[in-house]
Chain A
Amino acid sequence: GENVEQHPSTLSVQEGDSAVIKCTYSDSASNYFPWYKQELGKRPQLIIDIRSNVGEKKDQRIAVTLNKTAKHFSLHITETQPEDSAVYFCAASSNTGKLIFGQGTTLQVKP
């Protein structure tokens, strides 16, 4: 069945360093890959997404890359700040409309 694996489960970086979170998916029909940020006690919020016809997308300090051949995609956060600390979820969707979520990565940015 459809599956999304996310690594690492926890990530600790120093403020100003970069953070990278990686996901792999199983359904080759997946064509939409959003990333959500969830702060403690809050709802997941979309931070960036990429579609299968694009290999890379950037929005200020956040970028996402997609390798459809290898079926993996990654989130890159540069110049991390303490307010980037949260749980990050990747997800993959197919034309059925379902989003399959990864297990989440807890990012801690140390001041």
Chain B
Amino acid sequence: DAGVIQSPRHEVTEMGQEVTLRCKPISGHDYLFWYRQTMMRGLELLIYFNNNVPIDDSGMPEDRFSAKMPNASFSTLKIQPSEPRDSAVYFCASSFDSLNQPQHFGDGTRLSIL
């Protein structure tokens, strides 16, 4: 099993630009989670999906952030327009069943907004 696959691994862009982060969950997993990690705020859940449907997006910081899951094997997190304070590591994770099952994390995307 290839695990959760994220791309790109690193992204450096100027403020105001659109940023798209991509995630391929583990095959057969029903849940997909997007997290943001910073030194100041730790690991924050942004949004999660169940069977491609967004369940809870209360962690999405503002309207500049959006996430989609068009099918069971692909999700995107988009920031438009990006700002320097969006710089962080963004992790995608998936789990077979959210009830008492571990979440498996991808390698993350290190995002730097200049």
Contacts and interface: CB of A to CB of B under 8 A. Distances in A.
Main secondary structure of the interface of B (DSSP, over half): strand
B35 to A, nearest CB: 8
Interface of B: 31, 33, 42-43, 45, 48, 50, 55-56, 91, 95, 98-108
A51 B101 CA distance: 10
Nearest to A43: B105
B43 A31 contact: no
Contacts of A98: 45, 48, 56
Given A34-B102, A93-B100, A97-B99, A44 B43 contact: yes
Interface of A: 31-32, 34, 36, 42-46, 49, 51, 89, 93, 95-104
A36 B10 CA distance: 23
B42 A44 contact: no
A49 B102 contact: yes
Given A34-B102, A44-B91, A49-B102, A97 B107 contact: no
